[in-house]
Amino acid sequence: MTKYSDMADKSMAKCVQVLKDNFSKVRTGRANPHILDDIKVDYYGVPTPITQLAGVKVPEAAMLVIEPWDKSSLRSIEKAIEQSDLGITPSNDGISIRLPFPRPTEERRKELAKECAKLAEEAKVSIRNVRRDVNGKIERDEEVTEDVETREKKAVQKVTDSYTKKVDELLKNKTAEVMEI
């Protein structure tokens, strides 16, 4: 790899990682602990992530169980989940909180697939922006001859194509997961 294609590779890898993180937060009817990542609980006046206050388990495909280490935080965790945009009603039994994931309807699965396609397209745009920025650096580098510039741009394009294929593959897999009944 060349200096510029390596630079592009690192930046594009970050774009793909952001897409994976975004995909992990899409509700598919299957329990996924990552949907709790952005929810903060008021724990003694400090906004704290649920994962720092409790163990999160997936006992079955459509159920999350949250077991706080400090039982006094149970009500705060339940309140934070209710106020979030998850759209799931928590069930508090005094020891743990259960989050049942209802199966999405056919219409909702199609909406989720469109949402995933939109996230994938945003990732592709980010990848193309990285390509544009790196190509601009190549053009501005006065030490680079015309032949080397052409070769570097081709190398950057190869990296761009490989990451675009990764995004397409991730989208295909996520769409299959979302559309699964």
- As a whole number of angstroms, the distance between CA 73 and CA 97 comes to 11
pLDDT at 157 over 80: yes
CB of 93 within 8 A of CB of 74? no
Q: Which residues contact 39 (CB under 8 A, 6 or more apart)?
A: 49, 50, 80, 81, 84, 86
The pLDDT tens digits for 59-107 are 887 888 999 998 888 888 888 888 887 778 888 888 899 988 877 788 8
CA atoms within 13 A on the CB side of 159: 29
Q: What's the DSSP call for residue 89?
A: -
Q: What dotted CATH number matches 33-100?
A: 3.30.1360.40
Domain boundaries, the chain: 3-25+105-179, 33-100
Mean pLDDT of 155-172: 95
Phi, psi at 100, each rounded to 5° = -80, 135
The pLDDT tens digits for 111-147 are 889 999 999 999 999 999 999 999 999 899 888 888 8
What token pair was written down for 146?
A: 């015309």
Q: How many CB atoms lie within 10 A of CB 4?
A: 22
Q: How many CB atoms lie within 10 A of CB 172?
A: 12
Residue-averaged pLDDT of the chain: 88
- As a whole number of angstroms, the distance between CA 152 and CA 65 comes to 51
CATH architecture of 3-25+105-179: Orthogonal Bundle (1.10)
Mean pLDDT of 49-56: 88
Burial of 95 from C-beta contacts in 10 A (0-12 / 13-18 / 19+):
exposed
- As a whole number of angstroms, the distance between CA 69 and CA 59 comes to 18
pLDDT band at 12, cuts 50/70/90? very high
